[in-house]
Amino acid sequence: MCKEVLDSFGLSVPCFGMVKDDRHRTRALVAPDGREFGISATPALFALIGRMQEEVHRFAIEYNRKLGGKKVIYTNDPTRQSASVAMYDAEGIDVVVMDALIDLNFLSFMEYSSGVEGLTFARVDADSQTFQKEMTEDEKKQSEEDEKKLADVLHKATGKEDLTVKLASLKDESLPAMLTQEEQGRRFSEMSRIYGQNFKLPETHTLVLNAANPVVKSLISGEADEETRGLIAAQLYDLARMSTRPLEKEEVTAFLSRSNKLLELLSKR
């Protein structure tokens, strides 16, 4: 099919297919003449092919979403992700528990081979669109300005210049922030670890701050001094991360120290 399309445009471009094993893992490339080329022994090639698959999958998912595809929300850690699960419950959306080792492969298999057009799976922390309220044009304009201010504060407080910071009005005003992670990149990294490859592709995290939350409002207004704002910003980031994964040893120490400082500041008010 691919070669036929290329030939119809008069293009001479090498064309290869991907061969999967019975566990739906890519094991080789196949040429039009049927020759197979193994990729598992070449880490750089394996990572490149995985990245290409991820991008093709992302494009297909976005296209199907525009067509009104079916989206299944799942959790692979019901205890740690209980807050996110509760938010979907409040929206009347069922969350499927998929916490077995084989489930990661099963998700991809179902998306490609179930026969259900537009079927996609997304973990509870894949995005925040479900929980956002509609904003007016004026609110959107103000949000863009405030978002830049908050990004500067968060980058300085966390030391993570590559952290994407978004400001949105969430339905639950008591929730100050949530951390989302792009589904396909995370899934590929997890699969590579499971199969002993441990290829670390860039994982996209987005910290979504709730414009309707009092704590976030105080960060925007600049009521507190710079040190206190930095402590609050770093605390918001760690709290959001804790809903998706445990903190590392050094991170726990920093979190506890920061908590003590914030309690001390509150006691002096």
Half-sphere exposure of 205 (CA within 13 A, CB side): 15
Q: How confident is the model at residue 210 (pLDDT cuts 50, 70, 90)?
A: very high
| CA 136, chain centre distance (Å) | 26
pLDDT above 90 for 41: no
Hey, is 170 helix, strand or coil?
strand
Q: How confident is the model at residue 9 (pLDDT cuts 50, 70, 90)?
A: confident
Q: Which two tokens stand for residue 180?
A: 């989302």
What is the rounded average pLDDT of the residues 49-67? 64
What is the rounded average pLDDT of the residues 210-236? 92
What is the rounded average pLDDT of the residues 192-211? 74
Lowest average pLDDT, out of 17-26, 29-38, 124-133, 146-155, goes to 17-26
Locus of tokens 């077995």: 100
**Predicted local distance difference test score (pLDDT) of residue 24:** 59
pLDDT above 50 for 189: yes
**Predicted local distance difference test score (pLDDT) of residue 67:** 45
Contact criterion met (CB below 8 Å) for 169 and 135: yes
What is the pTM for the complete model shown? 0.69
For the segment 145-172, what is each residue's pLDDT rounded down to a tens digit?
Answer: 899 999 999 999 999 998 999 999 999 9
What is the rounded average pLDDT of the residues 188-205? 67
For the segment 79-92, what is each residue's pLDDT rounded down to a tens digit?
Answer: 888 888 999 998 88
Mean pLDDT rounded to a whole number for the chain: 83
What is the rounded average pLDDT of the residues 10-38? 78
Q: Which two tokens stand for residue 266?
A: 């509150």
Contact criterion met (CB below 8 Å) for 203 and 265: no
